[in-house]
Amino acid sequence: MQRVRLVVGHVRTTLVEQWRPVVMPTLALWVMAAAVSTTLLRPFDVNEYMHYAHATLHAPLFHRFPLEYPAPALVLFLLPLLLPLSYPWAFAVLVGIALVVLVTSYERSGLPGWNSRAVGRLIIYLALGAVMVVAGRYDIFATLAAFLSLRAARQDRWSTAWTWSSVGFVLKLFPAAFWPVFLIAEWRRSGRIPIRRLWWMAGSLVVIAGIPALVNHADALNVLHYYLHRPTEDGSLPAGLSVLLDWHGTNWVATFHSVNVMSSITPKLSLGFELAGVGACLWVWWAQIKGRLPLEAVCLATLTFVMLGSKVLSAQYLIWLMPMWALYRLRVTWLLAAAANLIVFPYVMSAQGLGYLPGHTFAVGLTLTFFARDVLIGAGTIALLRSMLVSGEPTPEHSGAVVAA
């Protein structure tokens, strides 16, 4: 009980100290995001979470898993049912809590460059590029876990880092991109390969697939099957390049809860980008092994190249990157990428049902806007890495000024 009182007291002190510079702007962002998600847009994804939550509570209990999400995500989908609010607003409240924890985790880290300026940059990125989705998707929870894992790794608290990354992995998979980075970083710090971390990986796989398989073997790997069978989404780099290279031979189909691009060259381009993403990650990890890039930059670059190499790059995925973008000065390329993300999203969400497809001209414009967004994301990340490799600066930038790239 005494420990609980100490934790509550620490949280209260943190909120009081950071109320004006951190918490108030975050709450303003949350109000906008919640209003957009619950009133202006049809909260399709949140309603889908509610459907999955109710379905898993039907007899037999916990035998129905989501098609497109890892089975442990059901824990998050069930939590809003505990609040005396409509499901969309209850979900928005949980998002608000996650946002406050995320922003207050910067200054509490005690790390250089992780401060209220970084929080301000994060709020700018979220408001510009993710206000339409941050309260209407559950990505913020996995993003929080991933960011806490990075913070713990920077503090040399490796068991905590691996635990948080495992939590993020079982919710949304993408924090697994940090695992090679953590292995290399811990090996460089300790001088020996951290073999024991394989237990964290194995445990994560058991939680995400092994335990669900005991309940419902047929649906345990739904998320993997869903991704493997998905065509190339219109928000990905191979989709945009397909349009540029085969303008008249490209078609759009509404499947898998998204608009996807189909052409004779799209599968080859998707494979090519996947291989390029793997190659880019290997190059970044090699630079990390040589001590030429800091941990934050390697995590950011790895996740960026994984995203850009994927055949799926949805609007909400930018939320994954923004907390790490905020560690560095505002970059024009990332700001423009965030703006492009905001421009396309209202139209996508206002489409009349999943069977609706826009005209060919607008579909081309939409896909190319996504393509420009993705190119800007990659350009900003590569410019950051280049500046670090050239200058040898190992720490996040402190200034809040906007830089050219």
What pLDDT does 60 receive?
A: 74
Q: Look at residue 399 in the predicted model and tell me its pLDDT.
A: 41
Phi/psi for 148 (5° steps) reads: -65, -35
Asked whether residue 328 is assigned to any structural domain, the reply reads: yes
pLDDT of residue 353: 46
Same-domain status, 402 and 270 = yes
| Residues 320 and 169 sit within 8 Å (Cβ to Cβ) | no
Residues 102 and 238 in one domain: no
Domain count, the chain: 2
- C-alpha 370/C-alpha 292 separation (Å) is 32
Residue 89 lies in a domain: yes
β-pairing, 258-262 vs 251-255, is antiparallel
Residue-level pLDDT at 324: 97
191/235 same-domain check: no
Q: Would you state the pLDDT for residue 42?
A: 66
Q: Are residues 187 and 262 in the same domain?
A: no
Do 273 and 192 lie in one domain? The reply is no
- State residue 4's pLDDT score: 47
Q: What is the pLDDT of residue 146?
A: 97
Does a structural domain hold residue 219?
A: no
Question: 175, 208, 241: which is the final residue of a domain?
Answer: 208
My answer on whether 100 and 154 are in the same domain is yes
Shared domain check, 278 and 169: no
Domain-located, residue 163: yes
Whether residue 291 is contained in a domain is answered as: yes
Nearest to 92 by CA among 105, 83, 104, 101: 83
Tell me what pLDDT residue 373 has.
96
Domain annotation covers residue 30: yes
The two structure tokens encoding residue 254: 């509404």
Let me know if residue 221 belongs to a domain. no
Q: State whether 56 and 198 are in the same domain.
A: yes
pLDDT, averaged in runs of 10, over the chain (405 residues): 53 60 84 84 82 84 77 92 93 95 86 88 94 92 97 95 96 95 93 87 84 68 75 89 85 78 89 96 96 95 97 92 96 96 69 52 83 96 92 53 56
Q: CA-to-CA distance for 76 and 79, rounded, in angstroms?
A: 5
Write out the residue range of the structural domain in which residue 403 sits.
230-405
In this structure, are 237 and 360 located in the same domain? Answer: yes
Contacts 24+ apart (CB under 8 A), 393-396: 394/293, 394/294, 395/112, 395/113, 395/294, 396/112, 396/113, 396/114, 396/118, 396/294, 396/296, 396/327, 396/328
95 in a structural domain: yes
292 and 345, same domain (yes or no)? yes
- 315 with 347, same domain? yes
Residue 250: what pLDDT? 81
